Amino acid sequence: MSPPKDHLYQDLASFRVPPGFRGRSGVIVLLWQLTQATLFRLSPQPAYGWRRFLLRLFGAQVGVGVLIRSTARVTYPWKVILEDRCWIGDDVEIYSLGPIQIGHDAVVSQRSYLCAGSHDYKDMSFPLITKPIIIEPEAWIATGCFVAPGVRVGRGAIVAATSTVTTDVPAAMIVAGTPAVPLKSRPPAQRADNSTLAEGRIRVDIIGQLPPPVHGFSFITACVVDVLKTREDIAVTTFNIAKPPDRSGLKGALSRVTRSLGAAAAVLRGPRTQDRVCYIACDGGLGLVFTILFLAAARFAGRRAILHHHSFNYITTKRLLMRIVVGLGGRSLRHVFLCESMRDMFIARYGAGITSTIVSNAAFLPPPTDIPGRRDSDGTLVLGHLSNLSREKGLYLFLDLLETLAGQGVPVRGILAGPVAAEADRARIEQARAVLGTRLDYRGPLYGPQKRDFYEEIDVFIFPTTYENEAQPVVLFEAQAAGNLIVAYGRGCIGRQVGAYGCVIAEAADFIGTASLWLTDRANGIGQPDTRAEVRRFYAEQHAASKKDALSIIDA
């Protein structure tokens, strides 16, 4: 039959699908259709994790605990966002010609149709029109409903069975009919004990290395525990995965594996509730294997997960294990970074599709001291270094700097503190003591008042670290709290940490030459009360701002 010469309403011969409309190539679209018809649709009812995996494989953003039935249909998964714990019932049609987002804890019941595309009936060529659909958190689309393009269903709203929704639904409103009209407001839900959901405590499982031994990583994790325990709405459970201090070698490694498996098992055994959070202190290097284990357990258990980064090991160099972490976590995983530089470098390595916040280590330290540091009455420049003393932490460069300045006739002395593990490092200290005599004071490990005295007695803290995992050293904040200027290599977040109150040296530069010149040029002003007061004010500002961030570290 030949086509009519005249058209009154629509000429489908002139219809064209806009270029790039599907969002993927025809091959990918075909692969998804085949996958949905077989691996997805034929999967057993309980295989929710498998179906979540398939959707993510084809570009959908799928949160933890999402339940989607095998008979549900998704047109283009790469245009779909399914937030944590949302439910998609049998025979639901997610017609995602345009973007469709379903919020956390929302329900779309069986045989409902979410239609994000239509046609412009006023145009003879009948072109496609797409508008996003947003189902906000905790809303319920009951059985057999139709939701039109461009509709937003507000948080906690209910659309009664078989309704047709063509306009936005306000939050907490119950609507019904064709077209749907408001009936009444939805009251807050009640628990079995008649308390509202908002009154329940958030349960936080904290997994990480805790003291002993005390080092920067374990110290900050312990501080996170203490900060969260100050909130009345949070109940904290800790899982210490550090190897016991009395075990080393194979026994220590086995202890850590055992503790890690126990922590993962505890996460899996816990109740699947929306108010349970898994906080993971992220390891560096091969320790990322444990991070993957904990994250997988959290996702399987339907927990919201938070990953606190403490290392630049996988940021300066792209690591396969961290790529697995990012892929496993998706957008529902919240990353906590120590500074903007850390966040920006991480995104450059692993992509922008992450959720993140910044909490500086300054949040977990005391406010600055009010006592001005002491300066030798004879004008001697006092340099200090405190760490787990080793070459990579800067011990050798600190001693070299002292010897160089002393050789130049600069009135200088050094105070060295911290434990020494290697005999070679101990020998280097003894060698320096033989050269410098009373100008080098080695005090060993320091704690409490002795540590505070160390910072108050020095003028400049020297920290030429080359440690590959270095991120945001706690000792630098401690030094600033006492009013000390800092000279350090610019690894990790150190550049932002020091700011204008010290000398940050590029790792490729000559540390001894650069530091010597900087110190001698400023010898008269270093250690003076005004300078120390400025440094303490700078630290106080960082501390106050970060403290607020730390209190909300687990908030969505």
Residues in the chain: 556
Domain 381-536 matching CATH 3.40.50.2000: the answer reads: yes
Pick the CATH number of 12-185 from 2.160.10.10, 2.130.10.10, 3.40.50.880, 3.40.50.1000: 2.160.10.10
- One pLDDT digit (tens) per residue for the chain, 556 residues: 555 567 888 889 888 888 888 889 999 999 999 999 999 999 998 899 999 999 999 999 998 889 999 999 999 999 999 998 999 999 999 999 999 999 999 999 999 999 999 998 888 888 889 999 999 999 999 999 999 999 999 999 999 999 999 999 999 999 999 999 999 998 876 544 444 444 457 888 999 988 877 777 888 888 888 888 888 888 888 999 888 877 777 887 888 899 999 999 988 886 655 568 899 999 888 889 999 999 999 888 888 899 999 989 899 889 999 999 998 888 889 999 999 999 999 999 998 778 889 999 898 888 886 655 555 556 789 999 999 999 999 999 999 999 999 999 999 999 999 999 899 999 999 999 999 999 999 999 998 889 989 999 999 999 999 988 888 998 999 999 999 999 999 999 999 999 999 999 998 999 999 999 999 887 766 767 788 889 999 999 888 888 888 888 887 5
What residues contact 176, with CB distance under 8 A and at least 6 apart?
159, 160, 163, 183
Cα angle value 49/51/57 (rounded, 5°): 105
What three-state secondary structure class fits 119?
strand
Q: For residue 502, with 0-12 CB atoms within 10 Å meaning exposed, 13-18 middle and 19 or more buried, which class applies?
A: buried
- CA dist 43 and 58 (Å) reads 17
What's the pTM value of the predicted model, to 2 decimals? 0.60
381-536: same fold as 202-358?
yes
DSSP per-residue letters across 14-82: G--PPTTTTSS-HHHHHHHHHHIIIIITTS-TT-HHHHHHHHHHTT-EE-TT-EE-TT-EES-GGGEEE
Q: Which residues share a beta bridge with 66?
A: none
Q: Are 69 and 103 in contact (CB under 8 A)?
A: no
Query: Can you name the CATH fold of 202-358?
Result: Rossmann fold (3.40.50)
Domain ranges within the chain, ordered by starting residue: 12-185, 202-358, 381-536
